[in-house]
Amino acid sequence: MIQQEFNTRIFRTQDQWDSGFTYRLEKLTGGGITLYSTPTFTQWEEKGVKNPGVLAIDECGLIYYIETGTCKLYRYNPEIKSKEHIPCISGCGGEPGKVETTKRILFDKYTMWVLDAGNERISGRIQAFSRENFQIRYIIDDLENPVDIGLDESGYIYVIEKDDLGSHIFTYDTNGQRIEKVFDESCLKDPLALAVCTDKSIYVIDMEMKKFVRLTDGKCSEPFGDLSKIRPANLVIDRNGNIFILDDTGSIYQFDPDGGCQGKINIPDSSDTITGIAVDSKGNLYASGNKGIAIFVTQKKYTREQGFYYSKTLDSGIEECQWHRLALDAEIPQKSILEIYFYSSDNINIKNEIDELIRNDKKTIQEKASILDEKFHWIGPEKYISSEEIILNDEKNKTAQKTKETNTGLNDKKLTWVGSKKNPRNILFRGKGGRYLWLKIVISTFDENVRPIIREMKVFYPRISYLRYLPAIYQEDPSSREFLDRFLSIFETMSNDLETEISELFKYFDPDTTPENFLSWLASWMNMALEEGWKEEKKREFIRRASFLYKFKGTPSGIEKLIEIYTGKKPLIVENWKTGKPLVLDGKSSFILGMNSLLLQTPVRGFRLGYDSILGRVALREVVQLPEDPFLPIAHSFTVVLDLSNEEFEEYGDGLSRILNDEKPAHTSFNLRIANEMSLGSGIYVGINTRVGGYKPIYLEQRINGKPVRDSTDNTIGYGVLTGGEEQGSRIERRSRLGYDIELI
């Protein structure tokens, strides 16, 4: 059998997997599906941390928190276990620089926002502080009852407010100016908290419905999720879309982006109530309580809840098509289960209905999955269990289901694995087929330390068996025909895989498609030695650029490109002979010794033999020296300047030395300098370890409640604004108030 006799539908890239939808599964970068990770507790930060409340983490991993009781803002560095008081928030109260009931702290690169929900005496407001000096930039206090705020990656602030007319969502830019954006607010009944996902979708907890509401491009989704069993107090969303909810009992629950509960987060040694939660840019979770701050790291443990994948409609274009087999590239570790279901039909009305359901943005993933499970009489499951220690009590899965065929051509016979049980690769579709096919995959694990992964899936069709090569007598009896067809499919699968491997042999000679374990072998063809510790993509990049690198081998541009591929940073290569122009005193020179040039200054005590001059060490020669003779020490050397941190230099240092020794011309020497370790002065290189930063504009305008007053005359230069010269200082006049914006020190 030749490979061209089969058609295939492939699920490999992220776009191909996105054609279907997942429920409680995470999509891998580059393609594939796996279980969601759950935060793993690592440590309590207790040293110097007292009664932390609302907290936030900046891009450097520093923890900012409001101390309960004192209402003071502190910054804590978990690396060196130190904290410092940030005086921009100095206590409890309604004055600028003070808070009463802090609800949320947010950061971007330049600004810190603090939401003070207020109380019966003090109205809620949002204070914005500059991160450069933590001075107040502006205050938004035109909101009657701000409930919560969120920040998207573009720097827009979203505020939920409740008033007598209902609930509203307002948008502000980083300068505190309100932006007109239209939101469908009809779905907001009793909003409690909001968070903004990386795709700019806004998630809201609604207490009246006890569900989530998602707003995408201003449009509301149908309420989803079930929050009836908990009492939410706050929520945050990490970079992968995982939702974490803090309830008023101090417990933390994890939900997937579709509202499915993944379970309760275990917090060891916690006898106190958790009062605040936050996530950092890496997806790690932080929780504050009377004991201190608990840190949870993701990507170490995985949910025990089942994850589901539903494929799009696969159209063979053949009526009553007998779908052949499903091939998987999967990693199923011990104590994990993989289940496969399928459904086929010739009914185009079912196909159109399912396609419309998958495209329906108003339906949640959970609702779509429920509709499909109710509508389809799935064939299966065929379970792959990676450990014999797992005992299944489901008696229904021990025997084949026996039902009658329906008008749509369904048959409830079980699927059959083809291949090794230790490495599931192929499943043979059985039963009467149809033109359209849908797949359902269920992944689960009994061990939270392991993670089953499906990287690729191929569907082969139509069924073409070795049975057609046998005499007709072997096909007369239906039962014998079915058994023989399945039996021969084992050998057909093995043969087809071998033929596919041979026909795709060219992939082994392409650095982009060759398997990872063949990269070193492919590099040896070009006399390239790859480091074992290099990442896979870096190895492919080296091989891909081999012809270019050999063309410029030994040149500054070749060495520069090689180092850039290896470290990801562009170096500065300085050839030492170019650093200065030599001064040569000879007959052709315009310099005349004693007239316009001086070799040295006479010492105070004069020249003394043995001290300032040594007899016999200097010889006058009649022949003029060659111009390059005085500069031989630097004529064949160069310096490589690279901006690396200490950790990066420890990682790349040895490899850089080997690369430079292999690539430099044999008669040259090099000096490797790390720009990060240089001091001010000659060690500063613009573009290497120095950046020319941006600037912030100065607005000559008056602001009231964060809004500019265009016709104000208080900002005229010379009247309300004073431009200074070299002297820096302040004068106590009309525009300065002692103790407010002027402090005597």
* 162 vs 363: which has the higher pLDDT: 162
What does the pLDDT read at residue 349? 92
Q: 10: pLDDT confidence band, cut at 50, 70 and 90?
A: very high
526: CB partners within 8 A, 6+ apart: 543, 546, 550
Judged against a pLDDT cut of 70, whether residue 719 lies above it is answered with no
Q: Can you tell me the distance from the alpha carbon of 240 to that of 255, in angstroms, rounded to the nearest whole number?
A: 12
Judged against a pLDDT cut of 80, whether residue 198 lies above it is answered with yes
Low-confidence winner among 65-69, 144-148, 364-368, 688-692 (lowest mean pLDDT): 688-692
Whole-model pTM over 0.95: no
Q: Rounded to the nearest 10 degrees, how much is the dihedral formed by the CA atoms of 347, 351, 354, 355?
A: -170
Q: 106: pLDDT confidence band, cut at 50, 70 and 90?
A: very high
Q: 683: pLDDT confidence band, cut at 50, 70 and 90?
A: low
Of 96-110, 480-494, 606-620, where does the model show the most confidence?
A: 96-110
What does the pLDDT read at residue 202? 93
What does the pLDDT read at residue 483? 84
Judged against a pLDDT cut of 60, whether residue 246 lies above it is answered with yes
Element containing residue 546 per DSSP (H, E) = helix 546-551
Whether the CB-CB separation of 640 and 673 falls below 8 Å is answered with yes
Domain ranges in the chain with CATH number 2.60.120.260: 3-34+306-392+403-464
Judged against a pLDDT cut of 70, whether residue 618 lies above it is answered with no
Low-confidence winner among 405-409, 435-439, 665-669 (lowest mean pLDDT): 405-409
Judged against a pLDDT cut of 50, whether residue 6 lies above it is answered with yes
Judged against a pLDDT cut of 90, whether residue 523 lies above it is answered with no
What does the pLDDT read at residue 378? 85
* 557 vs 386: which has the higher pLDDT: 557
- Local structure of 119: helix, strand or coil: coil
What's the CATH code, domain 37-302?
A: 2.120.10.30
236 bridge partner residues: 244
Condensed to tens digits (0 to 9), the pLDDT of residues 120-153 reads 777 889 999 999 899 999 999 888 889 999 999 8
Q: Can you tell me the distance from the alpha carbon of 432 to that of 101, in angstroms, rounded to the nearest whole number?
A: 65
How many CA atoms are closer than 13 Å to the CA of 230, on its beta-carbon side? 26
What does the pLDDT read at residue 440? 92
Q: 648: pLDDT confidence band, cut at 50, 70 and 90?
A: confident
What does the pLDDT read at residue 562? 87
Between strands 669-674 and 637-642, the pairing is parallel
Query: What percent of the chain stands above pLDDT 90?
Result: 23
Q: State the average pLDDT over residues 331-335.
A: 85
Judged against a pLDDT cut of 70, whether residue 463 lies above it is answered with yes
What does the pLDDT read at residue 73? 94
Residue 655, φ and ψ in degrees, nearest 5: -65, -40
What does the pLDDT read at residue 404? 34
What does the pLDDT read at residue 685? 58
Element containing residue 136 per DSSP (H, E) = strand 136-140
Q: Pick the closest to residue 309 from 453, 144, 498 (CA basis).
A: 453
Low-confidence winner among 226-240, 331-345, 624-638 (lowest mean pLDDT): 624-638
Judged against a pLDDT cut of 60, whether residue 392 lies above it is answered with no
Give the chain's length: 745
Whether the CB-CB separation of 508 and 514 falls below 8 Å is answered with yes
Judged against a pLDDT cut of 80, whether residue 691 lies above it is answered with no
Q: State the average pLDDT over residues 509-533.
A: 85
What is the identity of the amino acid at 89? I
Q: 244: pLDDT confidence band, cut at 50, 70 and 90?
A: very high
Q: Can you tell me the distance from the alpha carbon of 630 to that of 652, in angstroms, rounded to the nearest whole number?
A: 36
* 321 vs 614: which has the higher pLDDT: 321
- Local structure of 353: helix, strand or coil: helix
Q: 23: pLDDT confidence band, cut at 50, 70 and 90?
A: confident
What's the CATH code, domain 3-34+306-392+403-464?
A: 2.60.120.260
What does the pLDDT read at residue 552? 87
What does the pLDDT read at residue 688? 56
Judged against a pLDDT cut of 70, whether residue 713 lies above it is answered with no
Domain ranges in the chain with CATH number 2.120.10.30: 37-302
* 224 vs 366: which has the higher pLDDT: 224
- Report CA torsion sign: 416, 420, 422, 424: negative
Q: 599: pLDDT confidence band, cut at 50, 70 and 90?
A: low
- Local structure of 449: helix, strand or coil: coil
Judged against a pLDDT cut of 50, whether residue 345 lies above it is answered with yes
Q: Can you tell me the distance from the alpha carbon of 565 to that of 31, in angstroms, rounded to the nearest whole number?
A: 25
CA-to-CA dists, residue 577 to 192, 387, 580, 636, angstroms: 68, 68, 7, 8
What does the pLDDT read at residue 499? 83
Condensed to tens digits (0 to 9), the pLDDT of residues 480-491 reads 887 888 788 778
- Local structure of 315: helix, strand or coil: strand
* 111 vs 398: which has the higher pLDDT: 111
Low-confidence winner among 235-239, 515-519, 525-529 (lowest mean pLDDT): 525-529
Judged against a pLDDT cut of 60, whether residue 692 lies above it is answered with no
What does the pLDDT read at residue 380? 72
Of 339-348, 678-687, 723-732, where does the model show the most confidence?
A: 339-348
Q: Can you tell me the distance from the alpha carbon of 13 to that of 580, in angstroms, rounded to the nearest whole number?
A: 54
What does the pLDDT read at residue 481? 81
What does the pLDDT read at residue 718? 47
Q: State the average pLDDT over residues 652-673.
A: 87
What does the pLDDT read at residue 403? 36
Please give the mean pLDDT across all residues of the chain.
78
Q: Pick the closest to residue 322 from 185, 462, 189 (CA basis).
A: 462
Q: State the average pLDDT over residues 298-304.
A: 73
Q: What share of the chain is helix, strand, coil (3-state, %, to 5)?
A: 20, 35, 50
